[in-house]
Amino acid sequence: MTTTEKYRVRVTLFGTVTLENHRGRAVENPSRQSQPWLLLKYLLVHRTREVDPEELAAALWPDNPKAAGENAARVRLNRLREALTPLGLEGKSGLVQYAGGRYRLNPRYILDTDEDRFLDLLARLRGCPAEDPAGLTLCLEALTLAAGPYLGKTGDAPWAAPYRACFRRAFAGLARDTLARTRTLEDPRAVDLLCRRVPDLLPGDAAIHDELCDYLKKTGRELDLLRLTARPVPREPKPRPASQGHEIVSKIVIQKGQVYTVAAPSGQRPLQYTRRDEPELTRVFREEGLSGLLLAVAREIHRGRIRTRADSKLTRAIRKALHTLGLETFLDLEEEPAAQTLTALVLEELQGESKPNRTVSNA
């Protein structure tokens, strides 16, 4: 291993903040260590200079920086060093240093950040003609890097707001450029990734959202349009009676027009699965076909009454669709848009796996 590789640290600042080197990977966990990682994020953003304790206290405790004191920051520093131990970046000579009454990142380490690569791609993109296919490739690379909001979950930290806003503007420009190049080149390969990025990174930008919807309508990309327009909405958790649980379904089986499930009550231990006829699902399947059946199942999953385990072809397709959509995102949507989105994804998955002379009844 070369000396350069030994001291190289790959840093992800878009989405979940991570550090990675030849020894392993450390991932931000805001629910357990929010302040130590917030300290690291502040130093990463200001990695070209030293930070005095007063400035750091104002960033970590904006409501009352004087009450926190320097000792509180040192405690967070020690906890951060513990989190970086698996990477060998702990200790006074590790990544984060405190010397001369100031905090800094150890200049010995070479930081390879997705932020720098993202900005480099945007700079190269500005010099690339609209009709050059290489420009769309640069757009794809930049969209891949922008996997989430800048600095991930920083809470309400005031110091982070200007940086996040700056990268939102940069991503908005990238989104418009990507869509313009897609139209010019008639090459839709970046659209799918753009549809996944816009709701997360530009949730309040109605102009870009409408422009992307208009393109999807004109090009007949109904599934991408459905994914894009299924926006999360705040919802209150519905209280559930203590006696009401859910079922763990290991199989949804269709045989000769009949729908069966193999399921066990969630409160039963050990789980004992039994197969039973589902007359209501059978009725829906006969009247409305596979799409109607999937809508009914998706509603039950959204209501929390059933949970599926991958076994039959049909349940595997449902689980894969939930993974693609993101279970949390699926549950945060209103019931009907969520059910329709899941149904479309499952049907797409089943059609992709289907073979000649093979029917869904074999699922």
- The H-assigned helical ranges of 127-190 are 133-145, 161-185
CB neighbours of residue 250 within 10 Å: 18
- Whether the Cβ atoms of residue 247 and residue 265 lie closer than 8 Å to each other: yes
pLDDT score of 230: 64
pTM of the predicted model, to two decimals?
A: 0.65
pLDDT score of 120: 97
Mean pLDDT by 10 residues, the chain (363 residues): 84 94 88 80 94 88 72 86 91 90 93 96 94 95 94 81 92 95 92 89 87 89 71 46 66 89 81 87 91 91 82 86 78 83 88 50 35
Backbone angles phi and psi of 148, in degrees to 5: 180, 180
Residue with tokens 């926006």: 231
pLDDT score of 3: 73
CA distances from 193 to 140, 181, 188, 227 (A): 8, 14, 10, 11
Distance of CA 43 to the CA centre of its chain: 24
